[in-house]
């Protein structure tokens, strides 16, 4: 049996190796390569539409290279998602038989895997946007592919506006916009109407769609049942399940394994998760053949909707939800929340079942829900999120009047104002909406304005070394991990690091101990810590040095560090109201200590705290909390708080902030009118 297995594997390995060329030639885009390249040669801006999996992302860059575009500059390809940028770059490097980071590379925030030699560069749209800051006409590039434009991510939308001007200035730049859906006309119109659309003829199989007969109560449960039914049903083909986020994905995976484990003689099934925080070697597994050719069941976030294509999927299970970042006016900031998908998304998802043969899609919602409750298409990110970073970036690119900026879909005026207001309170904009020297420095950091502000003020407070550490730790998704089955052990380790008055200082403590242990990977593993923050710290440190911000340590004076934290987060301040219950000082909204916070259950409840963000689950929980003095709030956020002020001056202060908002509103209204005028013309 053992030899038999080996032989089999050897045969299939050989088949895989041999077929990279064949795989490339089998893609729909290959069949129309010459016609498509002719259109590209003859035009500056081209819209390319093709079904997911037709080869847009992996082939276009190579075709451009083979056509000589690499001679006069780099070929850049933007992706809205980090995982896609990395995974696709690796695939292209494999196809070309080169090492990743050499001729083919990628860049995502805090990770630059390119070199002098790099000609094909995959990157997140955020990276290209930042490159515009240093090189406003993108001279390094001979061609730019704006991939996944249908996704309408915030950064892609801003890039649209900027690149529209760049192509007007540079006749030698090729701009290719790709989309998996048919909204190409909108893109074509945006670039002046006379840019051609090329459609890659699809090769798709019919997908039979089944809706739930009644609304489903627990979509994880329902998805697990459906997956098991399919697996035991005897039909061949891999399964793809969509889930909104990591937690649901992990639960789904373990429930499927449990269910099959309970059965005698259930055939083996490779259950494979994929989400952005999964280590990349595990991410790669979804593309590999499972051992012994067993069936794969991939449980994925939205990433598998159009960004990544896995061959062999014949069954899709779609609960109809995704996670989205949405500005929540109640709490005055963005929150990641679970929402129903749009009809367009649901149709993309079902399409994933018909790439290699006739497939089936199980929707865990009723047909009526589909028709009546789902939006036709997803609201573009620019219309639903906080725009502080975008405002800061555009202002520093010299776009003074933001409503005159050419947006494909303009953001709501309220969002824009709110973001400008936040930047004003942070001191990044002055009363007339102009960028201040502080704002100019802030834009250099690839982090949220709150965090860049903290880094900048830390210099004067003499604690930049500590704040640099804290901000690095806040920029990585997780520091502590809790593996399944070893939760208690992990929690016990974590408790040893906790600084009772602050989660931020707890991070600092972790880092300092890690440093004491010479950044040992083993020490990290033993203490259930992710070691990722180190790289980010190095990058942020470099930016600080470029800006000539001195890096100083306060030693053991951690109160200063807390005060510095307070100076950046004063808009997220809360006052104690009951046990574990706080209210936001500005808005009066209740918010709670999260059970994972160092302040939770310490028998000590500070009167005032600031927090990094609110997460909305069952309640509004404050994430990453630090105890502060009321007096600091008054000192550092005078436009919001006053401890001992006469009524008169408090009123004056409120008037002052009202006046500021009004003058900004004026500016916006003027610009709005200008836009209307242009539309009429």
Positions in the binding site for ligand ADP (CB under 6 A)? 27, 50, 52-59, 87-88, 90-91, 287, 309-311
The rounded Cα 122 to chain-centroid distance in angstroms is 16
Residues contacting Mg ion: total by CB under 5 A: 2
Closer residue to ligand ADP in complex, CB, 83/128: 83
179 binds Mg ion (CB under 5 A): no
114 binds Mg ion (CB under 5 A): no
Closer residue to ligand ADP in complex, CB, 312/580: 312
57 binds Mg ion (CB under 5 A): yes
User: Minimum CB separation from ligand ADP for residue 82, in Å?
Assistant: 14
Residue nearest Mg ion, Cβ-based: 57
User: Minimum CB separation from ligand ADP for residue 579, in Å?
Assistant: 50
* Binding piece for Mg ion, criterion CB under 5 A, among 26-34, 50-58, 376-384, 464-472: 50-58
> Do 464 and 549 contact (CB within 8 A), yes or no?
yes
Residues in Cβ contact with 383 at an 8 Å cutoff, skipping those fewer than 6 apart: 409, 411, 412, 415
> Do 158 and 27 contact (CB within 8 A), yes or no?
no
Q: Residue 319 touches which of Mg ion, ligand ADP, none (CB < 5 to 8 A by kind)?
A: none
Among 546, 569, 557, 549, which residue's Cα sits nearest to residue 626? 569
Q: 56-66 and 82-96 are packed helices; what angle lies between their axes, rounded to 10 degrees?
A: 50
Helix H, strand E, coil C: the string for 152-194 is CCHHHHHHHHHHHHHHHHCCCCEEEEEECCCCHHHHHHHCCCC
User: Minimum CB separation from ligand ADP for residue 288, in Å?
Assistant: 8
Q: Is 129 left (phi over 0), alpha (psi -120 to 50) or beta?
A: alpha
Closer residue to ligand ADP in complex, CB, 356/366: 356
348 binds Mg ion (CB under 5 A): no
Q: Residue 411 touches which of Mg ion, ligand ADP, none (CB < 5 to 8 A by kind)?
A: none
Q: Is 555 left (phi over 0), alpha (psi -120 to 50) or beta?
A: left
User: Minimum CB separation from ligand ADP for residue 59, in Å?
Assistant: 6
Length of the chain: 681
Closer residue to Mg ion in complex, CB, 149/564: 149
Closer residue to Mg ion in complex, CB, 303/624: 303
252 binds Mg ion (CB under 5 A): no
User: Minimum CB separation from Mg ion for residue 307, in Å?
Assistant: 6
Residue spans of alpha helices (H) in 27-81: 28-31, 33-42, 56-66
User: Minimum CB separation from Mg ion for residue 56, in Å?
Assistant: 5
59 binds Mg ion (CB under 5 A): no
> Do 75 and 175 contact (CB within 8 A), yes or no?
no
Distance CA 88, CA 472 (A): 27
> In 10 A of CB 328, how many CB atoms?
17
The CA-atom distances, in angstroms, between 168 and each of 74, 173, 191 are 19, 9, 10
* Binding piece for Mg ion, criterion CB under 5 A, among 51-59, 228-236, 497-505, 592-600: 51-59
78 binds Mg ion (CB under 5 A): no
118 binds Mg ion (CB under 5 A): no
First-to-last alpha carbon distance for the chain, in angstroms, is: 77
Closer residue to ligand ADP in complex, CB, 50/126: 50
Closer residue to Mg ion in complex, CB, 348/464: 348
Distance CA 513, CA 496 (A): 11
User: Minimum CB separation from ligand ADP for residue 245, in Å?
Assistant: 22
Closer residue to ligand ADP in complex, CB, 120/461: 120
> Where along the sequence are the contacts to Mg ion (CB under 5 A)?
56-57
């Amino acid at each position: 049996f053992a030899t038999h297995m080996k032989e089999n594997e050897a045969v299939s390995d050989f088949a895989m190796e041999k077929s990279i060329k064949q795989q490339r030639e089998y893609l729909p885009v290959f069949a129309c390569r010459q016609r498509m390249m002719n259109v590209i040669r003859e035009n500056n801006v081209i819209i390319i539409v093709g079904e997911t999996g037709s080869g847009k992302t992996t082939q276009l860059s190579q075709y451009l290279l083979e056509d000589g575009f690499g001679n006069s500059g780099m070929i850049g390809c933007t992706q809205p998602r980090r995982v896609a940028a990395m995974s696709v770059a690796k695939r292209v490097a494999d196809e070309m038989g080169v090492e990743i980071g050499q001729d083919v590379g990628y860049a995502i925030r805090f990770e630059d895997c390119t070199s002098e030699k790099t000609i094909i560069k995959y990157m997140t749209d955020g990276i290209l946007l930042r490159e515009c800051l240093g090189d406003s006409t993108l001279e390094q590039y001979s061609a730019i592919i704006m991939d996944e434009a249908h996704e309408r991510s915030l950064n892609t939308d801003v890039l649209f506006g900027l690149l529209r001007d760049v192509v007007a200035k540079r006749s030698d730049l090729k701009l290719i916009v790709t989309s998996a859906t048919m909204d190409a006309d909108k893109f074509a119109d945006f670039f002046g109407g006379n840019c051609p659309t090329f459609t890659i003829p699809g090769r798709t199989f019919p997908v039979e769609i089944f809706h739930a007969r009644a609304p489903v109560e627990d979509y994880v449960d329902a998805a697990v049942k459906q997956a098991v039914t399919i697996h035991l049903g005897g039909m061949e083909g891999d399964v793809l399940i969509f889930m909104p986020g990591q937690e649901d994905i992990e639960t789904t995976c373990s429930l499927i394994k449990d269910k099959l484990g309970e059965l005698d003689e259930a055939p083996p099934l490779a259950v494979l998760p994929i989400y952005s925080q999964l280590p990349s070697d595990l991410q790669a597994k979804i593309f590999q053949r499972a051992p012994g050719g067993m069936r794969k069941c991939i449980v994925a976030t939205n990433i598998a909707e159009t960004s990544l294509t896995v061959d062999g999927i014949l069954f899709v299970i779609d609960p109809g939800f995704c996670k989205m970042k949405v500005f929540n006016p109640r709490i005055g900031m963005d929150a990641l929340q679970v929402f129903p998908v749009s009809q367009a998304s649901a149709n993309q998802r079902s399409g994933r079942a018909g790439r290699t043969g006739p497939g089936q899609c199980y929707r865990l919602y009723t047909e009526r829900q589909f028709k009546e409750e789902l939006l036709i298409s997803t609201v573009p990110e620019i219309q639903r999120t906080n725009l502080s970073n975008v405002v800061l970036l555009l202002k520093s690119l010299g776009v003074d009047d933001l409503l005159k900026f050419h947006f494909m879909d303009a953001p709501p005026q309220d969002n824009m104002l709110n973001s400008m207001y936040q930047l004003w309170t942070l001191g990044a904009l002055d009363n007339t909406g102009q960028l201040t020297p502080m704002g100019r420095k802030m834009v250099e950091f690839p982090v949220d304005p709150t965090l860049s502000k903290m880094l900048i003020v830390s210099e004067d407070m003499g604690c930049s070394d500590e704040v640099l550490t804290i901000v690095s730790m806040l920029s990585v998704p997780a520091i502590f991990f809790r593996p399944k089955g070893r939760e208690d052990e992990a929690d016990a380790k974590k408790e040893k690091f906790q600084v009772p008055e602050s989660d931020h200082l707890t991070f600092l403590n972790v880092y300092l101990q890690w440093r004491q242990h010479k950044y040992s990977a083993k020490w990290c593993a033993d203490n259930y810590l992710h070691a990722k923050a180190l790289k980010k710290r190095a990058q942020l440190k470099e930016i600080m040095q470029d800006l000539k911000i001195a890096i100083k340590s306060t030693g053991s004076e951690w109160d200063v560090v807390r005060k510095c934290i307070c100076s950046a987060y004063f808009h997220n301040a809360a006052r104690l109201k009951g046990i574990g219950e706080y209210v936001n000082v500005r808005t009066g909204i209740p918010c709670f200590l999260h059970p994972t916070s160092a302040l939770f259950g310490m028998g000590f409840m500070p009167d005032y705290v600031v927090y990094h963000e609110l997460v909305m689950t069952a309640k509004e929980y404050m994430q990453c909390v630090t105890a502060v003095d009321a007096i600091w709030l008054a000192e550092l956020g005078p436009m919001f708080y006053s401890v001992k002020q006469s009524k008169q001056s408090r009123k004056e202060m409120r008037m002052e902030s009202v006046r500021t908002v009004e003058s900004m509103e004026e500016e916006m209204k003027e610009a709005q009118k200008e836009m209307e005028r242009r539309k009429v013309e």
